[in-house]
Amino acid sequence: MPTTIIVITAAGGIIAVETIFLLISAKRRLAELDENTGKAMLQIGEQLSAGFEMLIALLETTKEYAGQKIITLIESIKTERCAITGKSTPKDIRHQGDIITKTLGILELVSGAYPELKTNENYIKQLAAVETFENMLRSSRQIYNNSVAKLNDEIHRFPFSIVAATLQFSERNYI
């Protein structure tokens, strides 16, 4: 009888230790995925920051042709622009992207009104830089969305779902 109690106690202890290791492993995995998603968001923030700098340089070149309208637009962009952090939301990203898209649309109209602007060497180079920025931003968004998919998938899998609920890991939204 004492041997049976010892075996049952030992088995219970082994199961408890394995459960603890499993939960610690799940917590580490969720923390890693959450951190990767935050880093991907920071990368988008870096891309947007560089994009705004390129956009302002492009506007500065355009200012020679369109004057005060462009100066007002530059000030508006500087006011609306915000920093993107690891805790920013896809809504924040979309808002910043909308500012850039709107400004590029205005620049297209301005360049149509000033044909000599389209032949300005700086303007052409800066437009190429903006196109490169857009491609890099698109890649950064894909990386973020892949990170979100991995995190969200793990949050729904057992035993990660238990750890996620207990430690308040929550799903992230896609951009």
Q: Is residue 37 part of a domain?
A: yes
Give the span between the Cα atoms of 137 and 131, in whole angstroms: 10
Per the document, the length of the chain is 175
CA 127 to chain centre: 23
> The tokens of 66 are what?
């369109």
Measured CA to CA, the distance from residue 22 to residue 173 in angstroms comes to 27
Packing angle, helices 121-155 and 160-167, rounded to 10: 110
Q: Tell whether 48 is covered by a domain.
A: yes
pLDDT given for residue 71 in this prediction = 85
Note if the pTM is more than 0.85.
no
Residue 174 in domain: no
For residue 62, tell me if it sits in a domain: yes
User: Residue 28 belongs to what domain range?
Assistant: 2-167
Tell whether 16 is covered by a domain.
yes
Residues 6+ apart with CB under 8 A from 63: 70, 71, 74
Block means of pLDDT (10 residues each) for the chain, length 175 residues? 69 77 83 92 91 89 84 87 86 91 89 88 90 92 95 86 81 89
What pLDDT does 148 receive?
95
Q: The domain that contains 140 carries what CATH number?
A: 1.20.1440.20
**Assigned domain for 173 exists:** no
Q: How many domains does the chain contain in total?
A: 1
Q: So what's the pLDDT on residue 10?
A: 67
Cβ atoms of 48 and 66 closer than 8 Å: no
The answer to the question of residue 13 being in a domain is yes
pLDDT, residue 166, reads 80
